[in-house]
A and B are shown apart, each in its own frame.
Chain A
Amino acid sequence: MSLLQVQDLQTHLNSGGEIVRAVDGVSFSINRGETFCLVGESGSGKSICALSVIQLLPAGIASHPSGSVNFDWRDNEGSGESIKVDLLTLEDEAIRKIRGASIAMIFQEPMTSLNPVFSIGDQIVEAIQLHHPELSDAEAKSQAVEALEQVQIKSAASRFDDYPHQLSGGQRQRVMIAMALACKPDLLIADEPTTALDVTVQAEILSLMRDLQAQKGMAILFITHDFGVVAQMAHQVGVMQNGKLVEQGTTQDVLTNPQHAYTQQLLAAVPENLEKSAVHKADYNQSSPGLMSIAGLKVWFPIRTGLFRRVSDHLKAVDDVDLTIRKGSIMALVGESGCGKTTLGRAILQLEKPTAGSVMLGDQELTGLSTDQLRPIRPRMQIAFQDPQSSLNPRLQIVTTLTEPMKAHGIGESQDERIERAIKVLDQVQLSEDYLWRYPHEFSGGQRQRIGLARALVTNPEFIVCDEITSALDVSVQAEVLQLLLEIRQQRDLTLLFITHNIAVVEYLSDETVVMKAGKVVEQGLTADVCGNPQNPYTQKLLSAVPRLNLSK
């Protein structure tokens, strides 16, 4: 007897007279104590599916023309016997009793899912008392502390009165889990709970969830886009595409022997499975001269305190970094969030003023130059950004975005010639020329990243900093962009500094790898050496935390 049975679920979203079939005839079931992973790319309807189960979609917009969500409801107050209820047709009052008590949910963003004005203890106590009004304050508090201990928050009793801003992202996600588990639900819905976290924290949270599941025997509906996480967590997997469940089965079956073409395509796009082209390997020449030489680079931000804003300390974002990036190579810069990798990238391009040290592009010293002195050097080094939403000016047509840098540096005689060049570059990033006359909001995330890359390419740079350019993209799009990058590098003899937190991408793409932690470089060398045989304990920890597709491990 399964705990949750979703049958032919349809969820239609009505926006401005248009009906979007967000979930279109999805059926699956989850047994007690089992984890079901819904996996799919953004917009595939996996979150909407989960929200339909817990009935959290706005009533005016969402409707369910057909289907049923049968849940085996064991009323906590009653005798413990279970009744079968259809969540889609249940009244609000009853749903509210189920929500939190029998079905709990945790969300992706740990920064916004806790209320910042209440202490974490109060928020858990509130959840407990809502479903168990008979408990006294002291009892509820002791249960809350117990819940915090369960999710392995150290000295839980003393952290009871902490506010969300005093906790790190991983701790917040633990508190969210504690809150969701405080009422001992039968089903936990986890909507990308680790996507916003660093790999090492992600590994901890995932193992915590597995342990808790084993202890309590609850079922988990786990939503993710990451096949590595699927391999670690799921008993059953469902692959969603455009609102439809295209394939489901046991994790072993789906990952090792995918039947549906879409699943095969998705799995092939995972960086671990991408085939390295033979050319790419042969291309790297270890004896080629250094293009970018960085010596003793420091970027310190002053921390000012007191009435007179005296500098009391420094935040050492980049602390004494030495690097040589060889001409024609791809250097990957990895590290967890806040380790200073983005700051280093910007400091190299002089977008952030270094506190000390030297950055040489060829024979040209870049530090200490004024804005005007830097301007003629700018076209030789470019940057591409992470967020496809903010990397293009929303008010400018693509043609302006691409031709303006050329105009500023006197590339091309006339506007027509510059447009010609822009078309050529667009062609290189595999976009058609009529895209020139459109605005950024008309493009998808992957297209915008290509345009961002095109903008970096129009000035014929020798060196490009790619700042997490694939982090916001779906795996299949990521694969396309990575392959594109390798192609362009070959055509143009480019040197890249590729900043990322994704180890799999590093292994696929880069020739050399640099690992950063707290502003310092802890390990650097050839990618095969660093990833295959890490020497530094931090690198080892980082690599072991990466969720691998390989099931045999």
Chain B
Amino acid sequence: MTKRSQQSMSYGKRILSSAFSGWGARIGLTWVIILAFVACFSPLLANSMPLLASENGQVSMPILSYLTAEDLMLMVLFVVVLLLWKMPLKFSTKAAVASSSALIALLVGLAILSPPKTIIYDQFREKAAAGSYDWQVLPPIPYSPSDYLRDIGGNNSLKAPMVTEKQFHLMGTDSAGSDVASRMIHASRVALSIGFIATGISMIIGIIIGGQMGYFAGRFDMIGMRIVEVFEAIPVLFLLLAFVAFFGRSVYIIMIIIGVTGWSGYARYIRAEFLKLRKQDYVQAAIASGLPLRSILFRHMLPNGIAPVLVVASFGVAAAILTEATLSFLGLGPVEASSWGSMLNEAVKSSVFNWWMAAFPGGAIFLTVFSYNLMGEALRDAVDPQLSRKAGLVT
């Protein structure tokens, strides 16, 4: 890259390009993108129904009638983000386009899609066996996570991976007889969404409270810091246990609790940055120009102070995933969807140790947390001017 083109890049782009120039961050990013793809397209990747089937010469897509509005939204979001990736648009425009298209997809999905409450997975295999399909295209993993394969007959539970008897299971089956690979794929959604939503909630709260603490300083700052200290003293895991006991094991409650209790770190960082930025000449100039407070805070100060917060956020995503895994491992995770943590729990509960029940979800948790940490490290190094100015020579 020539010097000229580097110079005309905006600050954010420079940070990102230097952060993702190392192999560590690239590996992390690759894993997260793979994970995001798997999470968004999980119904198409692992399901019992055929993607395409021809019944008496009539081609249909049986999978469509089982998609939920949520599935549709995630798929649309992924495709839109992929398309926008290289477009020469402003970040704010991109974010607006992505979120509005996701919202539209959700509303459309709610209006036209009506997936049945109970699904009899066996019917597709029976149909196929009876030869009523001329041909069919099955997903790569032809089992739903809650498909217990009762029609196969015999004891189908706890089969080791890649042992082909009647059915081929890439990662084996669990004690109920459902396919582990399929469960892994569907559980990636919980892991990713917990990470992003919980961190998003704490970041927003942290930025609003920390930003005002830093900007107004003085008494406001003093009171704010005491609130931060109170929140830092809360043991999140025990609070979560208590809430789960009262309000049931919902994934949304877990997200909100992690988010609402975790903002103190972000608030501290933003406060420190804003205290520093407040006296910068360009902020003083903005005040002297009589710009509205909103513009001073969010246009002149936030973009200059956000970098360290993003670093913390990438570690925060990893921490949120771990917290959810811990809860699920303790048997208090969300009931409506399987998660990696609860799969680990099952591995431990069983009387015999089935390695595939522990290795795959454990490995996935490890890789995901590791990836976010790699990206966080790289971002931190890129943001730190002391490290990025490796030459150490100032004339």
Contact = CB atoms under 8 A, between A and B. Distances in A.
Interface of A: 13, 15, 18, 22, 42-43, 45, 47-48, 57-58, 61, 346, 349, 351, 371, 374-379, 381-383, 385-387, 390-396, 404-405, 408-409, 438-439, 441-442, 452, 455-456, 459
A152 to B, nearest CB: 31
Given A409-B290, A442-B8, A390 B395 contact: no
B303 A395 contact: yes
Pick the 8 closest A-B CB pairs, nearest first.
A378-B290, A405-B289, A385-B281, A391-B281, A395-B303, A375-B290, A393-B282, A390-B281
Contacts of B7: 441-442
Interface string B271-283: 0000000001110
A376 B290 contact: yes
Contacts of B8: 438-439, 442
Interface stretch (B152-160, B292-300, B310-318): B292-300
B3 interface: yes
Given A13-B393, A439-B8, A396 B299 contact: yes
Given A408-B295, A439-B8, A391 B288 contact: no
Given A13-B393, A48-B395, A379-B290, A351 B284 contact: yes
B288 A378 contact: yes
Contacts of B299: 396, 404
Contacts of A43: 395
Contact of A394 (B3, B284, B287, B304): B304
Nearest to B392: A58
B288 A383 contact: yes
Given A394-B304, A408-B295, A455 B285 contact: yes
B291 interface: yes
B393 A385 contact: no
B36 to A, nearest CB: 27
B12 A455 contact: no
Contacts of B391: 15, 58, 61
Nearest to B287: A351
B21 to A, nearest CB: 12
B289 A459 contact: yes
B300 A385 contact: no
B281 A387 contact: yes
A408 B291 contact: yes
Interface of B: 3, 7-8, 10-12, 280-282, 284-293, 295, 299-300, 303-304, 391-393, 395
A48 B391 CA distance: 14
Nearest to A371: B293
Q: Which of B282, B295, B300 has the most CB of A within 10 A?
A: B282
A186 B339 CA distance: 75
Q: Which of B8, B300, B395 has the most CB of A within 10 A?
A: B395
Contacts of A404: 286, 289, 291, 295, 299
B14 to A, nearest CB: 9
Contact of B288 (A15, A382, A390, A396): A382
A438 B293 CA distance: 25
Contacts of A396: 299-300
A61 B391 CA distance: 8
B74 to A, nearest CB: 31
15 contacts: A13-B393, A18-B3, A57-B393, A351-B284, A375-B292, A378-B288, A381-B288, A382-B289, A385-B284, A390-B281, A392-B282, A393-B300, A405-B290, A439-B10, A441-B11
Contact of B285 (A58, A61, A375, A391): A391
B11 A395 contact: yes
Contacts of B295: 404, 408
Contacts of B303: 395
A527 B253 CA distance: 72
B106 to A, nearest CB: 32
Nearest to A349: B288
Q: Which of B3, B284, B303 has the most CB of A within 10 A?
A: B284
Q: Which of A57, A376, A442 has the most CB of B within 10 A?
A: A442
Given A393-B304, A395-B10, A455-B285, 17 more contacts: A13-B393, A15-B393, A48-B395, A58-B393, A61-B391, A351-B288, A375-B292, A378-B288, A394-B11, A394-B304, A395-B11, A395-B304, A408-B289, A408-B292, A439-B11, A442-B7, A442-B8
Contacts of A456: 285
A383 B11 contact: no
Contacts of A22: 395
Contacts of B287: 351
Contacts of B290: 374-379, 405, 408-409, 459
A61 B282 contact: no
A385 B395 contact: no
Contacts of A408: 289-292, 295
A15 B7 CA distance: 15
A347 to B, nearest CB: 12
A386 B299 CA distance: 22
B378 to A, nearest CB: 19
A552 B15 CA distance: 55
A348 to B, nearest CB: 11
Contact of A390 (B282, B291, B300): B282
Contacts of B282: 390-393
B306 to A, nearest CB: 9
Contacts of A390: 280-282
A236 to B, nearest CB: 23
Contacts of A42: 395
Q: Which of A22, A379, A390 has the most CB of B within 10 A?
A: A390
Contacts of B288: 349, 351, 378, 381-383
Nearest to A380: B290
Contact of B291 (A385, A405, A438): A405
Nearest to B291: A408
Contacts of A386: 281
A264 B354 CA distance: 86
A395 B12 contact: yes
Nearest to A374: B290
A59 to B, nearest CB: 12
A63 to B, nearest CB: 13
Contacts of A441: 7, 11
Contacts of B3: 18
B304 A47 contact: no
A54 to B, nearest CB: 15
Q: Which of B280, B281, B303 has the most CB of A within 10 A?
A: B281
